Amino acid sequence: MGKVYIVGAGPGSVDLITVKGLKCIQQADVILYDRLVNRELLEFAKPNAELIFVGKLPNLHGVIQDRIHRLLVEHAGEGKVVTRLKGGDPFVFGRGAEEAEVLVEAGIPFEIVPGITSGVAAPAYAGIPVTHRDLGSSFALVTGHMREGKDDTINWKGLAESVDTLAIYMGVGNLPYITEQLMKYNRSPKTPVALIHWGTTEHQKTITGTLETIVDIAKNEDIQNPSMILVGEVVRMREKIAWFEETKKGIPV
């Protein structure tokens, strides 16, 4: 019997993977990797390692996820070391728990290797702390991608009224709805908002505005996913401590 390592590859920069995550890549016989994983990480794999791309495609999420489950079980069942490489952290909107459940049912040993999640790392590279003694003492990670055909179950009222800082994942396509919900539940239209596109990479681009202006700004700047949305007073800190030169070189100032 082999073993599966469900590994968080970090937010994008190769340098931000954990030491254990890198070891899992180096030792793997098979690597199943997602669309948002930095391909440079695959250069650390063994020469004879099998690299399998399992990135999600529109309208095929369920089909591809079933294939991932099958591949994990098949390869580990053949006695191979399998690294399941996922962007960010596997337990933060990464479906890592679902894959672990499948492995438990199949009787296959596994380990979870946490990764740095974009909800913390992308803001940090944009000069925005997710908490601040004066500006924000509470912080929530929120999905901005509602499941197709499902009712919105997110408690926008609770988030708007009770949480200082919101880090919203993959929500650019739903940005008008998100801002509308937050303002509907009494979040000030003047609340600062930042969108961080391809955070921590050489392609990083950050725009800022407010709940009432960010939709138009994002449209004018043609901001798409993958992007993090940060909502809260902490966004104001970017004016003081922005440190990452947002150019194609991505060199710290």
Could you give the angle at the alpha carbon of 240 between the alpha carbons of 238 and 241, nearest 5°? Answer: 70
The DSSP annotation for 21-36 comes to HHHHHHH-SEEEE-TT
Half-sphere exposure of 231 (CA within 13 A, CB side): 36
| 115 in Cβ contact with 89 (< 8 Å) | yes
Could you give the angle at the alpha carbon of 185 between the alpha carbons of 179 and 189, nearest 5°? Answer: 50
Active site residue 134: no
Q: Which of 224, 129, 139, 127 is nearest to 175 (CA)?
A: 224
Active site residue 3: no
Question: Which of 29, 34, 228, 237 is flagged as catalytic?
Answer: 34
Point out which residues pair with 51 in neighbouring strands: 31
Number of H helices, E strands in the chain: 8, 10
Question: Which of 20, 23, 164, 170 is flagged as catalytic?
Answer: 170
Active site residue 80: no
Question: Which of 20, 23, 56, 80 is flagged as catalytic?
Answer: 56
Q: Could you tell me the two tokens for 170?
A: 């993959």
Q: Which residues are catalytic?
A: 34, 56, 170
